[in-house]
Amino acid sequence: MRRMDGLVWVPVMVILVLFMVGSGEAADPRLPKVTWQLPTTEASHEDWTVKAIDGFAEAVAKRTGDNFKIVVTLGGELGIKREELPRALASGRIQAASLPAGHVAGTFPFLNVYGLPFLISSLEDGLKVGGAVQPITEREFKKLGIAPIAFFVMTPVGLWSRTEIKDLSAMNNIKVRAWDESTSDIVKALGGIPVIMPVTEVYTALQRGVIQAVLTGAPAMLNVSAQELCKFGYLVNLAPACVYLAYNIKAFEALPKEYQNILLEEAKKFEKHMVEIQPIEDNRSLEKMRKAGVTLITPKPDEMSRVKEKVKPLWQKWADKNGPIAAEAMKAATAALGMK
């Protein structure tokens, strides 16, 4: 019987070992099941940034044998307003979050350095500024018990209008969707009337005449079908939104070391992926706008010079208003870009 037992059990053990070694994905069965909530501020899982965050969450789940799941939700699904995300994250109500700098600047005013008009004009600029501001971000986030795990730059911001705008430096009280104080100040400086709202409200606001134009990127316009209403797109190359993925430090420290390592490794892969797909997504979105009948307009150099001249005083005004940490961030950002 012992000999028969050996014939039965040895192959079973060999098969089990081969499966665990060969798959590379089998998690230690002793590790706990963990679920994190990660809200975003976007309106659709078809949004290119949400797709990427979904991919990040799926990679973490796969590598942990589905024991560590990150549930990615859309703006408002958890009943948390976008400006409330840092506090919700700090309290442990959620364990991770997508934090667009402009949306959470009420908690972290220095983050609006990314929104200084025409400070950042490219993906490369955004990454340089992100690197320069990172030590400040880590320090200030830590005061709330949260930490950044990834950073990415969204597509450039354009001005999308229902009617043709003759001169961007003199907007004659056109009502323009903005998303924070910084973009509101830009609209005011150019003679427009800012109306702060999430992009999810843009379509209805355009229909009802609450706004006539929208500041945002081309992908966001497509996500809410606003290309149906705005047929003039001004490629002003305003600073793209910059976004952090962040986590609750206590929640992170409660994870098994294996999960921590996987989370950090996949976050680095996510960052690299975002750098690769940002220009691709921008070009793809602009082409879709053209095909939808939107006239894409690159402002003339003299017009852009007037625009930049009108908004440049906003830099120092912002630094003076928001104190030494904001001034520190602006100094770090301008130094990274070789500006005086």
SS3 annotation, 21-86: HHHCCCCCCCCCCEEEEEECCCCCCCCHHHHHHHHHHHHHHHHCCCCEEEEEECCCCCCCCHHHHH
> What is the per-residue pLDDT across 268-303, written as a single tens digit (0 to 9) for each?
999 999 999 999 999 999 999 999 999 999 999 999
- Asked if residue 234 lies in contact with residue 159, where contact means CB atoms within 8 angstroms, the answer is yes
> What is the per-residue pLDDT across 214-263, written as a single tens digit (0 to 9) for each?
999 999 999 899 999 999 999 998 878 899 999 999 999 999 999 999 99
Q: Is the pLDDT of residue 321 over 50?
A: yes
**Residues 157-239+289-336, CATH architecture:** 3-Layer(aba) Sandwich (3.40)
The whole-model pTM stands at 0.85
The number of helix segments (H) and strand segments (E) in the chain equals 11, 11
CA distance 128 to 125: 5
Q: Is the pLDDT of residue 8 over 50?
A: no
The dihedral of CA 62, 63, 66, 69: what is its sign?
Answer: negative
Q: Candidates 3.40.190.170, 3.30.2000.10, 3.40.630.40, 3.40.50.620; correct CATH number of 2-107+144-154+241-286?
A: 3.40.190.170
Q: Is the pLDDT of residue 37 over 90?
A: yes
> How large a percentage of the chain has pLDDT more than 90?
84
User: For residue 22, what pLDDT is reported?
Assistant: 35
User: For residue 239, what pLDDT is reported?
Assistant: 79
User: For residue 41, what pLDDT is reported?
Assistant: 93
Q: Is the pLDDT of residue 11 over 90?
A: no
Residues whose CB is less than 8 angstroms from the CB of residue 230 and which lie 6 or more positions away in sequence, other chains included: 160, 161, 162, 206, 213, 214, 221, 294
Which regions of the chain carry the CATH code 3.40.190.170?
2-107+144-154+241-286, 157-239+289-336
Q: Is the pLDDT of residue 23 over 70?
A: no
* Strongest mean pLDDT among 119-128, 202-211, 238-247: 202-211
Find the mean pLDDT for residues 81-89.
Answer: 97
How confident is residue 26, by pLDDT bands cut at 50, 70 and 90?
low
- Asked if residue 170 lies in contact with residue 299, where contact means CB atoms within 8 angstroms, the answer is no
Retrieve residue 335's tokens.
Answer: 């130094």
Residues whose CB is less than 8 angstroms from the CB of residue 165 and which lie 6 or more positions away in sequence, other chains included: 159, 171, 174, 213, 232, 234
Average pLDDT of the chain is 91
Retrieve residue 91's tokens.
Answer: 């309290």
- CA angle 164/278/265 to nearest 5° reads 155
